[in-house]
Chain A
Amino acid sequence: MTTSLMIETKRLTKTFGAFVAVKDLDLKVRTGSIHGFVGPNGAGKSTTLKMLIGAIRSTAGEGRIGGHPLGSEAARRLLGYSSDRPSFYRDMTAWDYLVHMAELSGMRIDEAESRARELLKWLELAEFSDAKVGGFSAGMKQRLSLALAMAHRPRLLLLDEPTANLDPDGRASLLEQLRQLQQEQGITIFISSHILPELEQLVDAVTMIDKGRIVAEDSISQLKQEISSNHYVLTTSDNEAVYRALEDKACVQEIHLDAEGVIHLTSDDLATLQDTVMEAVSACKALLKNFGEEQVSLDDIYRKTMRQDKDS
């Protein structure tokens, strides 16, 4: 296994009785990158994360974190994990919790206290340091969970839906902080999220998973290029007429009008398509406003990939 990869799994599989939660997962996450992990509910994202931290054992396959086997103490020393539904000892204060977790990871008490102070300030929880965690809001718990994951200065953060309980400002602020972590400290971040527009701004690469199997994985730019390479968008002064004129043309593989009346086309032959579009616009006596490659979002990639997977 390659050491430039922070996470590497080979044919990682997890079954619960007859149910296959994760199957033959070959995951590769580069050291120092922010890697998105997306998929529908029940796709196997949380199960994968729990295998990566060693909370559950794989049924087959193997994996390494920073070169160390999954679940080993050396691997866990490298990682910090934040759950999608973090649970806490309710009667502990945020301060005591952080010091406890830092000590648990091997820090001396003075070091642990200094780290706790730093993290509470960084995650804007300093004023609640003496408050019991049981009284925290869901958003505060989420931020505390992230602080606990980072208590021992891990080189890898495994975050399961870290922004799920945060308000829009909190989400934006957290994403910015994660970006800082990666850029300033070179921390690798493996992040599972449903909020794809946010993830798109943050991640370098993404792995899409469905029914426990990887259905797409690459850098965001590469995935966009793959999806948008033969996808075009067309706007004219009379979209409906132009749409009718184009729908039975041989060079047009797919065509549809979206809710806003914009024409979306798919074609493998751009030169012929350009001529055909010009002819159709002219025949309809319409005015061409815009014709170009479709700008796809992570959300589009996700929907298209999942649709393809369903069809197959």
Chain B
Amino acid sequence: MGFRTVFRKTLIDLTGWKSLLTLVVIGLLFPVLVMMSHQCNTDWGLAAQTHSLVDFFLMVFFIWTGGFFIAFLVSANAVGSISKEDAEGTLLFLVSKPVSRRHIVLAKLAAVVVRAVILETLMAMVFFLILRFLLPLEQDTFLAFLRTIPWLILYSLVIVVLCGTLSMALSALIRNQIVAMSLVSVAIIALFLSGAVVHRMVPDNYDDYHLYYVDPSYHLGNVFVPVLKQTSGGELPPASSEASDSVDMMRGMNGVFKSGDDSRGKAGVLEFFYPAELTDYVSPAVSLALFVMISGLALGLALWAMERKEVH
């Protein structure tokens, strides 16, 4: 009963229509503006230009819609869920009631995750509708895109759960929201950009020293690979042999794709989205398991910290 009540209250607090609509607009404004300003090569055929835009969409989803935007949003919500109540004094009432602290943490986390998934689904659907109007997609292609939504949401879920649990742990450990949010921000930036930094610092030793094992951005990109595969699962139009923005971007950010352009020019649907050759350091399932494990540890830390928390 306590879990359900805290979950419902948190979800209602987070999911007002106004805030939801505002977030959908903010979440989509950047990708739409980027896509509108995206310059396709006019020498390409219509299909190639369409693919270029679709590819651009995947890049934007990876880095922004399902990436930075949702990561920061979830973190901001989760960081405040305990520490804000603690600072404002409302936590005292809550912990004096016969509801276990474990349920308080789990209910608040569940509400943050559910809200993020609702938001991501809404954004993905609105974005697809915008694509439908912007691009001369054929019905089959559009339906194929729609089928990618669950996969994109699943990818987002990895980010949401990871950032949610980490933020929840910091929220239970640190009363100062600014400090907690700063720490989460550093973690998010490291999550997305560590690969780029490592590649720049030791460009030739990434493979030799097996740095990919400890590179969170590599594992994040690796988790996104099944999404790319699913997106290009044979139902989308033929591939372009031109450069892929998502591949270029992911190559710059992490080690999912091999460097160089020796693998360009392959034919086929799959190759459009990643004409570059995939690295095979670690299976995507292992990367996913790693994120699940880190999330589990962070959740354990959040529960432990909440149990031991002194509420004044």
Residues of chain A whose beta carbon lies under 8 Å from any beta carbon of chain B: 50, 53-57, 73-74, 76-77, 79-81, 83, 85-89, 100-101, 103-106, 148-149, 152
Whether A54 touches B96, Cβ cut-off 8 Å, given contacts A87-B90, A88-B90, is: yes
Q: Chain B, 256-276, contact with A by CB distance < 8 Å: what is the 0/1 string?
A: 000000000000000000000
Subset of 30 A-B contacts with CB under 8 Å: A50-B92, A50-B311, A54-B95, A55-B92, A55-B96, A55-B312, A56-B312, A57-B308, A73-B98, A76-B97, A76-B98, A77-B98, A81-B93, A81-B96, A83-B92, A83-B93, A85-B89, A86-B89, A87-B90, A87-B92, A100-B5, A100-B9, A101-B97, A103-B5, A104-B2, A104-B94, A104-B97, A104-B99, A105-B2, A106-B2
Q: Output the least CB separation between B6 and chain A (Å).
A: 7
| Contact A53 B96, beta carbon cutoff 8 Å | yes
Closest to A151 in B: B97
Q: Chain B, 272-306, contact with A by CB distance < 8 Å: what is the 0/1 string?
A: 00000000000000000000000000000000000
| Contact A87 B88, beta carbon cutoff 8 Å | yes
CB-defined contacts of A76 to chain B, threshold 8 Å: 96-98
Query: B1 contacts the other chain (Cβ, under 8 Å)?
Result: yes
| Contact A83 B97, beta carbon cutoff 8 Å | no
Residues of chain B whose beta carbon lies under 8 Å from any beta carbon of chain A: 1-2, 5-6, 9, 88-90, 92-100, 308, 310-312
A54 to B96, CA, bound (A): 7
CB-defined contacts of B88 to chain A, threshold 8 Å: 87
Across chains A and B, which 4 residue pairs bring their CB atoms closest together, nearest first?
A: A87-B89, A77-B98, A81-B96, A55-B311
A74 to B6, CA, bound (A): 19
A14 to B182, CA, bound (A): 32
| Contact B6 A104, beta carbon cutoff 8 Å | yes
CB-defined contacts of A56 to chain B, threshold 8 Å: 310-312
| Contact A83 B89, beta carbon cutoff 8 Å | yes
Cβ-neighbour of A57 out of B1, B5, B89, B310 (below 8 A): B310
CB-defined contacts of A80 to chain B, threshold 8 Å: 96
CB-defined contacts of A77 to chain B, threshold 8 Å: 98
A74 to B90, CA, bound (A): 21
A104 to B89, CA, bound (A): 17
CB-defined contacts of B95 to chain A, threshold 8 Å: 53-55
Cβ-neighbour of A106 out of B9, B98, B311 (below 8 A): B98
| Contact B100 A73, beta carbon cutoff 8 Å | yes
| Contact B1 A50, beta carbon cutoff 8 Å | no
Q: Output the least CB separation between A150 and chain B (Å).
A: 12
A168 to B208, CA, bound (A): 79
A76 to B98, CA, bound (A): 5
Cβ-neighbour of B98 out of A55, A85, A87, A105 (below 8 A): A105
A100 to B107, CA, bound (A): 14
A161 to B275, CA, bound (A): 71
Closest to A77 in B: B98
Closest to A73 in B: B98
| Contact A105 B92, beta carbon cutoff 8 Å | no
| Contact A55 B310, beta carbon cutoff 8 Å | yes
Q: Output the least CB separation between B105 and chain A (Å).
A: 15
A100 to B308, CA, bound (A): 25
CB-defined contacts of B99 to chain A, threshold 8 Å: 73, 104-105
CB-defined contacts of A83 to chain B, threshold 8 Å: 89, 92-93
CB-defined contacts of B90 to chain A, threshold 8 Å: 87-89
Besides A87-B90, A104-B2, 7 more A-B contacts (Cβ < 8 Å) are A50-B312, A55-B92, A73-B98, A76-B98, A77-B98, A85-B89, A152-B98
Q: Output the least CB separation between B109 and chain A (Å).
A: 17
CB-defined contacts of B98 to chain A, threshold 8 Å: 73-74, 76-77, 105-106, 152
A73 to B99, CA, bound (A): 7
A88 to B90, CA, bound (A): 6
Q: Output the least CB separation between B23 and chain A (Å).
A: 18
| Contact B97 A105, beta carbon cutoff 8 Å | yes
CB-defined contacts of B1 to chain A, threshold 8 Å: 103-104, 106
CB-defined contacts of A101 to chain B, threshold 8 Å: 93, 97
CB-defined contacts of B311 to chain A, threshold 8 Å: 50, 55-56
A263 to B94, CA, bound (A): 53
A81 to B312, CA, bound (A): 13
| Contact B5 A104, beta carbon cutoff 8 Å | yes
CB-defined contacts of A81 to chain B, threshold 8 Å: 92-93, 96
CB-defined contacts of B9 to chain A, threshold 8 Å: 100
Closest to B4 in A: A103
CB-defined contacts of A149 to chain B, threshold 8 Å: 96
| Contact B310 A152, beta carbon cutoff 8 Å | no
Q: Output the least CB separation between B19 and chain A (Å).
A: 12
A114 to B137, CA, bound (A): 57
CB-defined contacts of A55 to chain B, threshold 8 Å: 92, 95-96, 310-312
CB-defined contacts of A105 to chain B, threshold 8 Å: 2, 97-99
A50 to B311, CA, bound (A): 8
A70 to B82, CA, bound (A): 22
Q: Output the least CB separation between A98 and chain B (Å).
A: 12
CB-defined contacts of A152 to chain B, threshold 8 Å: 97-98
Q: Output the least CB separation between B26 and chain A (Å).
A: 22
CB-defined contacts of B308 to chain A, threshold 8 Å: 57
Q: Which of A80, A104, A106 has the most CB of B within 10 A?
A: A104
Closest to A87 in B: B89
CB-defined contacts of A104 to chain B, threshold 8 Å: 1-2, 5-6, 94, 97, 99
CB-defined contacts of A50 to chain B, threshold 8 Å: 92, 311-312
A159 to B138, CA, bound (A): 69
Closest to A90 in B: B88
Q: Output the least CB separation between B92 and chain A (Å).
A: 6
Closest to B6 in A: A104
